[in-house]
Structure 1
Amino acid sequence: MVAFHEDPGPGSGRRAARADFRSDAPRLSLNGRWRFLLSGTADGTGPTLPDPELDDSGWETIRVPSHWVLEGHDQPRYTNTAYPFPIDPPYLPDDNPTGDYRLRFDLPPDWPAGRSVLRYQGVDSCGTVWLNGELLGHSKGSRLPFEFDVTGLVRPRGNLLAVRVQRWSSGSYLEDQDMWWLPGIFRDVELLSRPEGGIDDFTVRASHDGTLLVTADVPGIVEIPELGLTVPTGQSVTLDGVEPWSAEHPRLYRGTLSAAGERIELAIGFRTVEISGGRLLVNGVPVLFRGVNRHEHDPERGRSLDRDTMIRDIELMKRHNVNAVRTAHYPPHPEFLRLCDEYGLWVVDECDIETHGFIYAGWEGNPPDEPMWREALLDRTRRMVERDKNHPSVVVWSLGNESGSGAAFADIENWIRRRDPTRPLHYERDPSYRHSDFHSLMYPSLDDLERIGQRKEDPPEGVTPGSDEDVRRRGLPFLLCEYAHAMGNGPGSLSDYQAILESYERFCGAFVWEWIDHGLSGRDSQGRPYYRHGGDIDAQPNGERYCLDGLLFPDRTPSPGLAELRKAIEPVGFDVSGGSVIITNKYDMVDLGHLSFRWWVEVDGVPVERLTGTLEVPRCGARERVRVPLPRFGAGSAGEGETWVTIEAVLTAATRWAQAGHVVAWTQVRLATGTHRRPARLSLPAAPTPPDDALPPTTAVAVLPGVGWVGAEHEQPFVRVGAAEFDGRTGRLKRIGELELDGPVLDVWRAPTENDRGQGPRNALAADWEAVGLDRFLHRSGGIERPDDHTLVVRGRSGPATRTLGFRTTFTYRWRDGALHLQIDADPVGDWLDTAYGHLSVSPPRMGARFTLPGGYTDVTWFGRGPEESYTDSRAAARVGRFTSSIDALQTPYVVPQENGNHVETRRLEVSGPGLATLRVDGEPHLDFTARRWTSETLQAARRPHDLTDSGRVWLNLDHGQQGLGSASCGPALPERYRVPVRRHSWSMTLAVVD
């Protein structure tokens, strides 16, 4: 039996690549239960596989489409960059799991005579196919379709279809994307009836000026009833009054293409893509992609997605202001592109080419630079372009991802430009960009991005400044193909990146990495469900947790990061000043006529009933702005406290992706500052606040000399100040009236986020923290002093074993007006400086105060930013308002437990529980708070969310601030302005008991 899997060629016996389309010709789905047997080598079950007489009754059955490693056979494997087999192209190890599939089927009674075509939409990684004992051929290129002509072989009854699928093949060398290796027949299998003389392939060219040309491999008739058009193929027409297609207004004209009695569905979008003057233009105007990179993923089905899941993704994208998708790093199921046409998304369609693992060979033998791979690489390109060429949503072809450079890219470029000159090309990894119409990078810093916008960037390594290549690259539009690595808690700085992207006309957009966490459903030894990552599979090499880097959790629950992206990229801007609001339309194509604008006023988070209404906004065209007067709010009479106005832009009418009233964009503005009031209780939910820095900017490190400690020795076990009771030895607060608590202690630690851990040795903040002991602070009491009956001063020192670094602390308590005022001062001491290099060696992730409360506390209510978690570089999505939550609901269930649940700019907080006195905390003016049932140390040690169990206490942090999130898991270092500086920190609060 022939073994094709190590042949570097793309396939054999297949039909030519062609457009994917729907028609009224009969189609038989062969999805369902197939016989299946897994073997350990590429020989599978041996030469008898295609024999119709083979008794397979003892074989197992498997769902098609699916991946066999998710159906109980073998294990999935995850790598980020490394090949999971030796780099020995085009050969593979003898141990090569191989699945043999068999299906018996009959044709429907009315199946027409004439041609029949067998189509596979996706087989990973090499599929060899037999029908009724006859070899049809084989194919590689896992995420692309292939077809066989089975006319004369398929019979009315008793057909036997056999497929051998090797897990690894020569094609695997071209498919080293950052993703799970998931073998099997994972997309649809279909038998298509093709009428004699019918159209097999056609091309639609529809420009935004109304010019239409449909060509086909045989003559046919184009009909578009809405336009009153009937025209033969091959004849160009120009139509008046055609509405162009765009992602913002996805206008499709439905029609048919007919020949030989078959009617093919047409969904034509008139649009033009070009690059002119160093900018990307669609329909003659510049566009800005607000995009995400999207892998196909489902925790149960892997890359085998159904249509409902695709719709769910697209609707979530549209509701979160995403307007573009990069199909990282392979063409998606064709149904996804049909849906992008209908819902409206710009698509960068990426070829199924990545050879990242050759980095470990110093790029020696890299396939794009080796002649034996040329046909396989061109084959993948042809199959993508031919399949997807008629989709208006596809506006850019991407040649592949992270595959270095090589001569094959010139061949790929030349072929696409000849076949489809209507779309520009993208390829990021070749530093010359000679095959790309865009300059493109991954994960630049904010400073680097600013320089790129100004066309002042340094040339890539190997490119001479001022050379023709350098000059050409500077003239190209810039496409940020990956940024803001959404791994774990994050990413940070999304608003910062968007502000730069909107400031320079060179930019045509950016794509966050990535859409969804690639967690796979699993159960532990106790039967508890969890999501598996690469590190849960006992195999090497292993990408560990790196597959958990999405804006959605594996079950498609949006993460706080997606809410932050939604706010950062919202398509309407607001600037309120001088009694009016300037409204900026950030759409590229449409005016604001589809939106309504509503407003209301809140004081300390409480809506003022009579202060609400709508704004009458005049026509505001794309990329234009209008000034609208604000009503006279009369805020001074609304009451004391913080007065805020919220303005929202909402959908006036329902769309296919959201209901009427869906919030597209919003802003909040503080109108006046009244007297800061403290109501007896907080209630209701409420409003937003201005973005003042959570932490002052870093100044020079002040390492203070040792100071003497003062205060009398206290022999009594407790010291009382007003209704507050303190430990007489340590000075720790133990009680306020009937409320039991313990603390505070200085807290500089947080459970590291994935971004804190960085990528390898780069940006490894958490490793630096642990190296100097920030995770193991010990505390020493330094004396208690009582200047008067209403004041207590508690001094101390906190720091780790083995180091001199730490903080000297002063906690000053004053009882006044029935509440306990607390001032905290923390001064750095010791070896914060790297003595060898004279610079700061590390800065703490948090500057805070940790308390513990009885475990009976269950709920929190606060006035500040919410309702979701927020951090200094990720807070734009958090409104200022009045919010209520259970303590348990404050926790964000990241697949890998890490710091979560912080809330910046909290003015007022109440912690309550049945039968317990309520603790009220007032920030002076603001605090960060977190509340959870376990410590940061327990959170750090947990491997899964279900490892976190109730400690019997509530751990409450009332902090000066935390450092930002960043995206250093794959990206630049966290900007200094979002770090906690090593200097004196002071913050204060008032603690009180509410019955």
Structure 2
Amino acid sequence: MVDFHEDPGPGSGRRAPRADFLSDAPRLSLNGRWRFRLSGTAEGTGPSLPDPALDDTGWETIRVPSHWVLEGHDRPLYTNTAYPFPIDPPHLPEGNPTGDYRLRFDLPVDLPVGWPVGWPGGRAVLRFQGVDSCGTVWLNGSLLGHSKGSRLPFEFEVTGLVRPRGNLLAVRVHRWSSGSYLEDQDMWWLPGIFRDVELLARPSGGIDDFTVRASYDASDGSGTLLVTADAPGLVEIPELGLAVATGEEVTVPGVEPWSAERPRLYRGTLTAAGETIDLPIGFRTVEIAGGRLLINGRPVLFRGVNRHEHHPERGRALDRDTMIRDIVLMKRHNVNAVRTAHYPPHPEFLRLCDEYGLWVVDECDIETHGFIYAGWEGNPPAEPMWRDALLDRARRMVERDKNHPSVVIWSLGNESGSGPAFGDIERWIRARDPGRPLHYERDPSYRHSDFHSLMYPSLDDLERIGRREEDPPDGVVPESADDVRRRGLPFLLCEYVHAMGNGPGSLADYQAILESYERFCGAFVWEWIDHGLTGHDAQGRPYFRHGGDIDHQPNGGRYCLDGLLFPDRTPSPGLAELRKAIEPVGIAVDVGAGEVVVANKHDLIDLGHLEFRWWVEVDGVPASEGGVLRVPGCGPRETVRVPLPAVAVAADGETWITIEAVLATATGWAPAGHVVAFTQSRLGPPTPSPTALAAPQPAGGTADGLAGGPLPGGIASDAASAVGRAPGGGGGVRVGGAVFDRRSGRLVRLHGVEVDGPVLDVWRAPTENDRGQGPRNALAADWEAVGLDRFLHRTGALESPDDRTLVVRGRSGPATRTLGFRTTYTWQWRDGALHLRIEAEPVGDWHDTAYGHLSVSPPRMGARFALPGGYTDVTWFGRGPGESYADSRDAARVGRFARAIDALQTPYVVPQENGNHVETRWLELSGPGLPTLRVDGEPHLDFTARRWTSEALQAAGRPHDLRDSGRVWLNLDHGQQGLGSASCGPALPERYRLPVRRYSWSMTLTA
């Protein structure tokens, strides 16, 4: 038996690649239950696999399409950049799990009325849409051939081999093959027949392949259509009154162009030899002119995401409903573009992008990132033996997807270094499809790309790129031909703001730069969805597995959990923030001018599909004012001004106007009234800041505070907790209606509410972005190195200058270090309420000169309190209802909100800091049988409230590891540092950090 898996060639016996299309020709789905047996080596079950006489009744069955590692056979493996096998191309280790598949099937008896030739007398084609990683195929004992290129289709001619009844289809699938060297794509390694298998009836003399050229001339609004095919046929588009032969070019005046913003498809047909092929036509033109990307004559800006195909139970075996769910979520969150990272998707996804409207960067199934561990020696694009395999993948992508109007850019692959093969791919695509530009990011010369492109630049670097003032890449000579050419190219930010865990931050900052320079044609967030796989622990509790949960080395650990959606497709807070940052309508209130400024950020359509509504709230309570804002016609990338509605400003409290742009009518992806964009503006004079907040604010902060997080519990102190017992030390110190512990100075009771606090809190359970990537941007490791996670507390003196005041002085810092903060808590009883001012002065060596000059700043500056566990709910006035941080706050509106404490937690797949709320004016905690506890900021606070400590949050491996501690841990903070995206990206900007300096903040507590 021939073994192809180590052959570096792309395949054998296959038909030429061709366009994917739907028609009325008979099609037999071979999806379903197949016989299956897994073996440990490439020999599989041996040479008898294709023999129809082989008795396979003792074999197990498996679902097709699927991955066998998700169907109870072997295990899934995840790596980011590392190959899970030795780098010894094109060879693979002897231990190579191999799945043998067998299916018996009959041809259907009933065929469509009018079909001239039935099976098996006509032509028949066997098609596989995706097999990972190498599939060798036999039909009725005859070898058809083999194919590599896991995310690409391949076909075999089976005319004369297929029988009316009793067919035996056998497929041997190797987990590893030479093709695996080209598929190191930061994803789970999931082998198997994971896309559809079909038997297609093809009419004799019919059309097998065709090419649609449907361009749009923006100067006169005409569309030009040319359909060429490998056999004569008739093109009919009734809506346009067209009936022309293939090969005949026609120009139609006054067509509506296709775009992601208005995906206008003209539904037509292509008929030949009794077959009718669906022909959806979208007129559009893509070009690069003057250093800009133009579509339909206009510059466009992609507001995009990178999308791996993923389902927590099915892996990459996605069904149509899941694809629609993804697209609807994208459209509802203002996403207008997808980069198909890092391979062509299932063809149905592109049909849906045509229909719903998404720009697509279609990426070839090529990535050789693991050769980084070989110093790029032997990298396939630079080695002649791989040329055919690499070029084959590009051909199969382009031929399959060439007729989709949504596909506007071809990407040659991802993170594969450079080499002559990319020149071959570039030349072939340009000759075959000159109507689309090309993208490739990793070759520093950019000779094969129509775009300059990078991953994860800092904000400063992105600004320089916008000005075309960037430094040349390594290896490129300044002012050389390559350097000059690159500066003239449009810029495509193919990956940015790594969405791993809580984050990403700075989305609004990046978008502001992207919208400020004409060079930019858009950006794609990494990435759409967490790649968690459904699992169950020893107690049967469900959770989502990541690479580190699999007993295998190497593995990429949690690095697969880097999406805007959780694995079950629940949107994360990061997706809400992205939605706000990339709004296609800018709305701003110019109070001084008495106007509302409306900026249409759409590239190709006006605002006629939107309605603008407004209303007013005072301290978060709706007022009587409200209505519809009449916005005049506003073309793409234009701005209009309309009068600000007359609003009565309240004498007391904060008066806020909210203006929303909503869908005027329902679409295929959202109902009428769906919010596309919003703004809020405060009317009237601002609240004056009290003296307590007059000290300079931290970088990136304002008098409103920064962001906050969880409460470090279990921290040692000189004084024991006073919750649940009478004050120790011979009775408490009373200040008005408050009682304080005589030794620690902590508040223990306020009008019947038992309290323990505050304790100075500088810690948060590290986010994935705090942990950085390896030694790079490893903030959490630096914090732990100097002990910010283990502060101890000492109370010095308690001073009572009068019977309404208590001053508590102390110091907080870690063992083995001199660094810390000297604290002063000043309590005053005023008008039946307890006022608190907290001052924290840094002391000691914060630069750690004894340990390599490690310089750190605290992740939070806050105060933690422990409250009775009976508190269940929080009502607050401030930003909400979702979590917010210093660099991720725009999606959170100012208003009055009420949530259960348990609902304030965000269940990140790996527990970490979450649930903070910035700019909180006041909050009230309530629970059955408990007095309501109210806290007023002066003027603002950050708050978090949860039933576990920061230490418990940090120690938990999964959300179900978190346990109710019996208390509610409340943080009332000056602020918390931002989130950033340093898990794979630049360091957190300084303006979102908390510098080591003196802090002071105030609040009032009432029960």
Instruction: Tell me which of 839, 864, 869 is aligned to 1:855.
Output: 869
Q: Does 1:309 align with 2:322?
A: yes
Which residue type is aligned with residue 122 of structure 1?
A: G
Deviates more, 1:107-116 or 1:980-989: 107-116
Where in structure 2 are there 5+ consecutive unaligned residues?
A: 112-117, 218-222, 690-699, 708-727
Contact 2:303 2:524 in 1 (8 A): yes
Asked whether the equivalents of residues 331 and 350 of structure 1 are also in contact (C-alpha less than 8 Å), the reply is yes
| Residue in structure 2 matched with residue 893 of structure 1 by the alignment | 907
Structure 2 SS opposite 1:418: helix
Q: Determine helix, strand or coil for the equivalent of 1:374.
A: helix
Distance (Å, rounded) in 2 between the aligned partners of 1:815 and 1:334: 69
The verdict on how the C-alpha distance between 1:604 and 1:673 changes in structure 2, with shifts beyond 3 A counting, is farther
Q: Which residue of 1 aligns with 2:825?
A: 811
Is the 2:546–2:558 contact (alpha carbons within 8 Å) kept by the matching residues of 1? yes
Amino acid at match of 2:59: W
Task: Tell me if the contact between 1:694 and 1:872 (Cα under 8 Å) persists in the aligned partners.
Answer: no
- Contact kept in structure 1, 2:265 and 2:280, CA below 8 Å: yes
What's the CA shift string for 1:784-832, capped at 9, x where partnerless?
A: 0001010000000000000000000000000001000000000000010
Moved over 4 A (4+): 674-677, 690-697, 836-840
**Residue type at the aligned position of 1:487:** M
The residue aligned with 1:642 is 654
Aligned pair 1:915/2:929, yes or no?
yes
Q: 1:658 aligns with which of 670, 682, 685?
A: 670
Distance 1:425 1:851 in 2: 57
SS at match of 1:563: helix
Shift of 1:579: 1.0
Deviations, residues 391-439 of structure 1 (Å, cap 9, x unaligned): 0000000000000000000000000000000000000000000000000
Distance 2:375 2:729 in 1: 71
Instruction: Check if 1:348 corresponds to 2:361.
Output: yes
Q: Could you say if the C-alpha distance between residues 775 and 838 of structure 1 is closer, same or farther in structure 2, counting changes exceeding 3 Å?
A: closer
Residue pairs, 1:113-512, within 5 angstroms: 113-209=121-217, 210-512=223-525
Pair 1:670 & 2:678 matched = no
- Separation of aligned partners in 1, 2:822 and 2:462: 40
Check the 8 A contact 1:693/1:872 in 2, yes or no.
no
- 1:606 paired to 2:606: no
Q: Does 1:938 align with 2:944?
A: no
Amino acid of the residue matched to residue 670 of structure 1? R
Tell me how far 1:30 sits from its aligned partner: 0.3
> How far apart are 1:630 and its partner, in Å?
1.3
Counterpart amino acid of residue 764 in structure 1? A
Opposite residue 733 of structure 1, the aligned amino acid is L
CA distance in 2, matches of 1:675, 1:401: 52
The separation in 2 between residues aligned to 1:721 and 1:554, in whole angstroms, is: 51
The Cα offsets for residues 305-338 of structure 1, whole Å up to 9 and x where unpaired, read as: 0000000000000000000000000000000000
Q: CA deviation at 1:640?
A: 1.5
* Cα distance between partner residues in 2 of 1:878 and 1:378: 48
Counterpart amino acid of residue 906 in structure 2: T
Q: What corresponds to 1:73 in structure 2?
A: 73
Name the amino acid aligned to 1:185: I
- Asked if the contact 1:643/1:674 (under 8 Å) is kept, the reply is no
- Summarize the Cα distance change of 1:878–1:828 in structure 2 as closer, same or farther, 3 Å threshold: same
2:859 to 832, 836, 845: 845
Alignment-derived partner of residue 686 in structure 1: none
Matched, 1:870 2:890: no
One-letter amino acid of the structure 1 residue matched with residue 391 of structure 2:
L
Q: Please name the residue that 2:710 is paired with.
A: none
CA spacing shift, 1:675–1:143, aligned 2, 3 Å: closer
Task: Look up the SS of the partner of 2:510 in the other structure.
Answer: helix
Deviation at 1:632, TM superposition (A): 1.1
Alignment partner, residue 540 of structure 1: 553
Q: 1:835 corresponds to which letter in structure 2?
A: T
Q: Cα distance, 1:574 vs. partner?
A: 1.5
C-alpha contact 1:640 1:676 (8 A) present in aligned 2:
no
Return the alpha-carbon distance in structure 2 between the equivalents of residues 284 and 796 of structure 1.
67
Q: Partners of 1:287 and 1:729 in 2: how far apart?
A: 66
- Is residue 44–residue 99 contact of structure 1 (8 Å, CA) maintained in 2? yes
Question: What secondary structure sits across from 2:81 in the alignment?
Answer: coil
Q: What is aligned with 1:797?
A: 811
Q: CA deviation at 1:837?
A: 10
**1:827 aligned partner, one-letter code:** E
The reply to whether residue 48 of structure 1 matches residue 60 of structure 2 is: no
Q: Deviations over 1:431-471 (max 9, x none)?
A: 00000000000000000000000000000000111111100
Are the aligned partners of 2:729 and 2:741 in contact in 1 as well (CA < 8 Å)? no
Asked if the contact 2:705/2:919 (under 8 Å) is kept, the reply is no
C-alpha displacement of 1:691: 9.2
Question: Paired residue for 1:705?
Answer: none
Q: Is the 8 A contact 2:762 2:859 kept in 1?
A: yes
Task: Output aligned runs, 1:532-931, within 5 Å.
Answer: 532-577=545-590, 578-608=593-623, 610-636=624-650, 639-673=651-685, 692=702, 716-835=730-849, 841-931=855-945
Deviation at 1:840, TM superposition (A): 6.9
CA distance in 1, matches of 2:686, 2:141: 85
Unaligned runs of 5+ in 1: 678-689, 698-713
Give 1:576 shift. 1.1
Deviation at 1:575, TM superposition (A): 2.1
Asked if structure 2 preserves the Cα contact closer than 8 Å seen for 1:144 and 1:383, the reply is yes
State the TM-score, normalized to the length of structure 2.
Answer: 0.95
Contact preservation (8 Å) 1:717, 1:729: no
CA distance in 1, matches of 2:149, 2:479: 40
Kindly report the root-mean-square deviation, in angstroms, between the aligned alpha carbons of the 2 structures.
Answer: 1.5
Equivalent pairs: percent with the same residue?
83
1:331-373 superposed Cα distances (whole Å, 9 cap, x missing partner): 0000000000000000000000000000000000000000000
Give the letter for the 1:183 counterpart. Answer: P
Q: Decide whether the 8 Å contact of 2:701 with 2:886 is kept in 1.
A: no
Using the size of structure 1 for normalisation, the TM-score is 0.96
Matches of 2:594 and 2:204, distance apart in 1: 72
| Paired AA for residue 813 in structure 1 | W
Distance 1:592 1:883, change over 3 A: same
Contact 2:613 2:628 in 1 (8 A): yes
1:487-528 CA deviation, whole Å, 9 max, x = no partner? Answer: 000000000000000000000000000000000000000000
What's 1:11 paired with?
11
Query: 1:241 Cα shift?
Result: 1.1
2:875 maps to a residue whose letter is: T
Aligned length: 963
SS in 1 for 2:518: coil
> SS at 1:385's partner residue?
helix
Q: Residue deviations 1:184-210, cap 9 Å, x none?
A: 000000000000000000000001130
Cα distance in 1 for residues equivalent to 2:61 and 2:988: 51
Name the structure 2 match of 1:706.
none
Query: What is the SS of the residue equivalent to 2:46?
Result: coil
Report if aligned partners of 1:641, 1:676 keep a CA contact under 8 Å in 2. Answer: no
Aligned-pair CA distance for 1:833: 2.0
Q: SS of the counterpart of 1:387?
A: helix
* 1:839, distance to aligned residue in structure 2 (A): 6.9
Question: Deviation per CA, 1:671-730, whole angstroms, max 9, x where unpaired?
Answer: 0148799xxxxxxxxxxxx99465589xxxxxxxxxxxxxxxx96431000000000011
What is the identity, as a one-letter code, of the residue corresponding to 2:209?
Answer: D
Q: What is the CA–CA distance in structure 2 between the aligned matches of 1:352 and 1:715, rounded to whole Å?
A: 71
Map 1:90-129 onto structure 2 (within 5 A). Answer: 90-110=90-110, 112=118, 113-129=121-137
Contact 2:874 2:926 in 1 (8 A): yes
